[in-house]
Structure 1
């Protein structure tokens, strides 16, 4: 792959084998994600999509092949903690909010160690909480929030360090239909207003079709790579 400056993330001939060597989770996968794209990775359980997301987020390493972020190969010399902290935001299906911290405090957690004062952290956290429509819930603990509200706070937290890449793992998997629709609308706003590069992993056709582009994964391979024609024509 030659480097194109518009490419934020590239996956080049990536394979991932489980430790026992009997199962190949990813099989010679290659694709590029451009800055500002909204991409869905879709596939059934066991297709390799969650493994792929972990590799995109540098939470796991490929057995072979390369992951290239902003033109630099992610390898054993890369400071992965620093890369994730400054450039990659994660939204998990289980939220992982700290139960003893308020919504405002949870959103501040990634900001510690970034050279910000307490007042700066609070100001930025409030801005993010307001952006996800949760300003009236900033003093609430996670147990005092609905599932959808917790997801919104988790999204605000994922934006704390202004990531260039936002990764979401089954972001509507625990949500009812109405709440899930609200989260997808929020993703649209993040993509349109903040020009976020957004990658979501899902088994839901509805969630996938909210994206500009859909990568369909089956048996560890990219089965298809399609532009969302509905969005393109709207």
Structure 2
């Protein structure tokens, strides 16, 4: 078990915090075949937002109250209950794309400041505000809906090459959160399996898949299955 870990910040001494909590409503989209459209258009909201933990034996239902998750075949579920993206990385994309990107532009529920989101390790735990406890599970894989949302040709390829995916998280302890809450990394595992490593393993560097097994029980089931299958096929 890793020791309690201080804040992972872009600059030494910078406090990690939640800039905005972003919720989306179901809207029609030509970029998805899911009935009901998509909930990717997320906007900052005022006041506290309740975040639920899974029901008994992981029966689902976790996530942010009032946030639409429409395409349940590819999104949502307890391992993708919350999506976080760093404002610093959005700023980098703003400069690269030459356009403004508001908080929530990538469909993230949490826009953070001071936290190296994509550098987080699988199983890393974040305390958001006084109540909510989240655990990092997996990176965001770009899809056609994401590309349509931004309206950028070749976006899937560009996002994949950049390998700054943001973090999906599961809810360990429910709680209310709001803009301005602190984000504290209260546990960082001893292994070296980061979101960036998993992202590359699942996209452009399949040979990395067996290394993901070092993350242990924190690894989502479908990712574990892919890693075991690859290891069995290649003997790596």
The answer to whether TM tops 0.5 is no
Q: Which protein shows a greater Rg? A: 1
Which structure's residues are more often helix, by fraction? 1
Which structure's residues are more often strand, by fraction? 1
TM-score by length of 1: 0.24
